Amino acid sequence: MKRSLRLTTLVITAGLIMASCEGPMGPAGEEGAKGDKGDKGDPGTTLACTDCHNSTSPMAAFSQQWSTSTHALGGNAAYANRAGCVQCHTSQGFLEYVAEGSVANISIPSNPMQINCSTCHKIHQTYSSADWTLTKPGAQTLDVKYANADVIWNKGASNQCAFCHQMRPVSPAPVAGGADFAITSSRIGPHHGPNTNLILGKSPFELSGTTYPTTNPHSTADGCLTCHMSTPYGYTAGGHNMGVWYDSHGTEMMLKTGCATCHTNATTLDTKIADLTADVEDKMARLEAQLVAAGVYNPTTALAKTGTFKANAVLAYLNYNTVKEDRSNGIHNPGYISTLLENSIAAMVALGYADPGK
Ligand code: HEC
Ligand code: HEC
Ligand code: HEC
Ligand code: HEC
Ligand code: HEC
Ligand code: HEC
């Protein structure tokens, strides 16, 4: 129904424009066929085009923030426009997944689009305030289980983020202390966004040792939004840019508007960040040296080496790779990420690879 009405409007508008240069307007077309009823959903408040499309609505600023983001500019919608990737990397793939509820039959779009307003919001569906509704609300069951149980991400409006920013399954996967394991692909690993799994402290590659913390001060009710969509810095961080780093006159700055609600002392916070970053970088460097010595990791390609290795060495590599791909330097779950690395280093020592930090 809405669709045919819109088409009629467009046809009439086009007619009017043509009319000005090409003679009198023809008779009005006949009414379009009735469309199907569709979901009831939130009726929202009907809006005029100009309620949204004006230069002072929040939308105008959000569009600018988005336009400089990695969602807009990352470029990987083109590179990853194939089966197994489209559902996270193209707007069309994600929306087709949402409509079909499965990734089994997703088509490969010929004009792949980066993640944009319509990927996340129901833009131009009802021309009402309900157009801002998220396209995939509701809890997200993550693809990778933990201790044989489902892992569920249920953190408000960040549930939308979780479908894409989660670990890819590694299958088959090594079992801690189990049989030697053959790495057959140098790209073995959980892929680029294992953020949700780490924030929940439920990564499948844990090695035993120091007890893993079960709470995370940074696992907030709004999830990702707390830090990544907090009060923005212009167009270059926070808000709808969603990044946390911005350039301030040549200096890279971390956006801390989301942190400030809990960390009220800015100087103390800076010290904490510096300490945690140093701790994680130090552990990553030590673990990397052990993995290179064991022949599991190739520092030149920054990928795994194929071959057969002790199961725990492969798990230690997978932990190294997960933390590297998370790219939060520990912030997403300070205690857990630090413990993951510590136990991986200890496991490598147990296999005979000395800890260069000791
Ligand atoms: C609820 C807010 C809202 C309403 C109401 C709305 N739009 Fe939009 N419109 C958007 C958003 C969001 C975009 C995407 C903007 C972007 O990519 O920066 C958009 C994009 C567009 C575009 C660019 C092409 C496209 O589809 O991306 C056109 C043209 C457009 N709108 C016309 C209209 C017209 C005409 C109306 C009234 C019939 C209307 N809009 C009503 C929010 C709205
Ligand atoms: C449809 C999948 C999808 C959804 C939903 C999604 N993202 Fe992303 N996100 C991506 C992809 C893919 C990239 C990388 C884009 C590229 O490289 O082309 C990315 C990039 C990012 C980056 C930038 C990383 C960098 O290197 O600069 C941040 C931060 C981010 N997303 C946060 C979020 C947050 C927060 C949400 C929820 C509000 C979210 N994303 C929702 C798929 C998604
Ligand atoms: C479950 C969702 C998901 C799937 C499936 C997925 N990706 Fe990604 N990918 C992401 C997210 C999220 C990011 C952004 C992570 C970040 O910036 O930290 C990303 C980032 C990337 C990047 C940029 C990495 C970099 O270092 O700049 C490339 C390249 C990429 N993906 C390729 C692929 C390819 C190829 C496939 C299919 C074989 C694929 N992705 C499947 C979610 C996914
Ligand atoms: C990666 C997902 C994502 C993308 C892309 C995205 N948004 Fe959003 N947007 C969100 C989330 C999450 C919220 C917060 C919703 C909440 O708190 O309920 C939000 C909130 C909003 C709101 C406030 C809605 C309200 O109910 O008041 C507007 C307006 C908005 N976005 C516009 C846009 C526009 C315009 C674009 C494109 C330029 C865009 N968004 C792109 C995820 C996204
Ligand atoms: C407690 C605040 C906080 C929360 C909550 C949080 N992040 Fe982050 N995230 C950060 C910080 C800070 C960094 C940068 C750390 C660094 O580079 O040292 C970061 C880094 C990232 C990166 C790497 C690219 C970049 O922008 O530096 C991605 C992608 C990302 N986060 C996605 C997410 C997603 C998705 C969620 C929710 C599942 C999330 N984050 C939740 C604070 C947070
Ligand atoms: C919801 C509240 C909350 C938010 C938001 C928050 N933090 Fe925290 N953070 C805590 C608590 C609680 C602790 C543990 C006590 C402490 O060290 O202050 C903590 C600890 C830390 C630590 C020390 C971790 C360790 O174990 O070494 C760092 C670093 C940190 N936060 C950085 C950040 C940054 C950066 C942001 C924003 C991007 C942020 N936090 C946002 C509550 C929060």
- Which tokens belong to 97? 């997944």
Question: CB–CB of 235/70 below 8 Å?
Answer: no
Token duo for residue 116: 């944009």
CA-closest candidate to residue 338, choices 220, 165, 210: 210
Question: Which residue has the CA at smallest separation from atom 28 of ligand 1?
Answer: 53
Query: What is the C-alpha to C-alpha distance for residues 173 and 229, in angstroms, rounded to an integer?
Result: 35
Rounded-to-integer distance, Cα 52 and Cα 44, Å: 14
Distance CA 291, CA 161 (A): 32
CA of 80 to the centre of ligand 3 (A): 8
Report cis status (omega within 30 of 0) of the bond before 172: yes
Half-sphere exposure (Cβ direction) of 24: Cα atoms closer than 13 Å: 3
Indicate the top mutation candidate among 191, 196, 303 to test ligand 3's pocket, ranked by most ligand atoms within 8 A of CB. Answer: 191
How far does residue 261's CA lie from ligand 6's centre (Å)? 10
Find out whether the beta carbon of 273 lies less than 6 Å from any atom of ligand 6: yes
Asked if 321 and 328 touch (Cβ cutoff 8 Å), the reply is no
- Ligand 6 nearest-atom number relative to CA 220: 1
What token pair was written down for 101?
């509820």
Ligand showing the shortest atom-to-Cα distance for residue 131 = 1
Q: How far apart are CA 322 and CA 349, in angstroms?
A: 20
Hunting for tokens 């189990």 — which residue is that?
A: 178
The radius of gyration of the chain from alpha carbons, rounded to an integer in Å, stands at 25
Q: Do residues 158 and 258 lie in contact, with contact meaning Cβ atoms separated by under 8 Å?
A: no
State the Cα torsion 105-110-115-121 to the nearest 10°.
-70
The pLDDT score that the predictor gives to residue 23 is 39
Task: Show Cβ contacts of residue 271 under 8 Å, excluding neighbours closer than 6 positions.
Answer: none
If you measure from the C-alpha of residue 3 to the centroid of ligand 2, how many angstroms do you get, rounded to a whole number? 30
Ligand 2 centroid to Cα of residue 71, in Å, is: 5
Q: Which ligand is nearest to the CA of 83?
A: 3
Instruction: Give CA separation, 72 vs 64, 115, 137, 156, 300, in Å.
Output: 10, 6, 21, 23, 30
**Which of 11, 124, 134 has most ligand 1 atoms within 8 Å of CB, for mutation?**
124
Per-residue pLDDT of the chain (358 residues; tens, 9 = 90+): 333 333 333 333 333 333 333 334 444 545 544 545 445 455 678 899 999 999 999 999 999 999 999 999 999 999 999 999 999 999 999 999 999 999 999 999 999 999 999 999 999 999 999 999 999 999 999 999 999 999 999 999 999 999 999 999 999 999 999 999 999 999 999 999 999 999 999 999 999 999 999 999 999 999 999 999 999 999 999 999 999 999 999 999 999 999 999 999 999 999 999 999 999 999 999 999 999 999 999 999 999 999 999 999 999 999 999 999 999 999 999 999 999 999 999 999 999 999 998 7
Q: Is the CB of 242 under 6 A from ligand 2?
A: yes
**Most distant CA pair in the chain: distance in Å?**
88
Please report the atom of ligand 2 found closest to the CA of residue 73.
18
Length of the chain: 358
Amino acid (1-letter code) at residue 199: I
Please give the distance of CA 100 from its chain centroid, rounded to a whole number.
21
Expressed in angstroms and rounded, the spacing between residue 332 Cα and the centre of ligand 5 is: 6
Which is the closest atom of ligand 4 to the Cα of 129? 26
Q: Which ligand is nearest to the CA of 117?
A: 4
